[in-house]
Amino acid sequence: MITLRVKEIARQKGLSQARLARLADLDQKIVRWAYNKPGVNITLETLNRLARALHVHPCELLIYEEDPPPGLE
C-alpha cells in the first residue's frame, strides 16, 4: 500500500492546510483529503504541486508498505 506523508511534512514545516492549498494552487478539499486520508488516490500533478509547495522531492511524500499475501490478512 502506498500512503502520503503530506500532513506530517506540512506540520514539520509549520504549514496549515489552507496555506499549503494556496502554495500548491490546489482546492483546500484536496489538501484536506491528503491530510486525513493518506491512502487517497491523487494525480501525479497533485503530487507534484504538493511537493513543490513543501520544497521536497515527490518521493519524500510517499510511504510504501507491502500488502500481506492473500489469506494472511
In this structure, how many other beta carbons lie within 10 angstroms of the beta carbon of residue 24?
21
Question: Does a structural domain hold residue 43?
Answer: yes
Question: Does a structural domain hold residue 70?
Answer: no
Containing structural domain, residue 17: 2-64
Residue 58 has pLDDT above 90, yes or no: yes
CATH number of the domain to which 17 belongs: 1.10.260.40
Strands (E), 14-70: 62-64
Question: Does a structural domain hold residue 71?
Answer: no
Scan for cell 489469506, then name that residue. Answer: 71
Q: How far apart are CA 61 and CA 6, in angstroms?
A: 6
In the chain, how many domains are there?
1
29-48 pLDDT per residue, tens: 999 999 999 888 999 999 99
Average pLDDT over residues 45-57: 98
Q: Is the pTM of this model over 0.75?
A: yes
The pLDDT value recorded for residue 38 is 85
Question: Does a structural domain hold residue 15?
Answer: yes
